[in-house]
Amino acid sequence: MITVKITVVRKARYDDLIEQYENPIDHACDLQEGQVFFCKGFQKPDGFCDSAWDSIAPFVMTLTHGGGNFYDGWMKDPRSAMLSCNDGFRPVSFYLEVWDGQ
């Protein structure tokens, strides 16, 4: 099975939306920019956010099974995807790519 490398590329934070709509929470996200995870199949990597996994898992599954070219040429590398989690207050962007071990 193909290995997919998941890189945390960017974390954003929208304080105006948080102030206006969100109830206060103590802890939201432990992921750090530059952090890397590796995945084979549909197993969520240890330490990966459950909610973020729900957002990217279908793309990971497709890549680990040899698929790609999402949305007919969306990405320069057809064996990759740039996705974000579904947190509208603190979205995290992930770069998924087929990893060849280098």
> Is the pLDDT reported for residue 83 higher than 90?
yes
Beta bridge partners of 98: 4
Beta bridge partners of 36: 7
DSSP state of 62: H
Residue 24 confidence (pLDDT): 87
Alpha-helical (H) ranges within the chain are 15-21, 50-64
pTM here?
0.93
Closest by CA to 6, choosing from 76, 46, 14, is 46
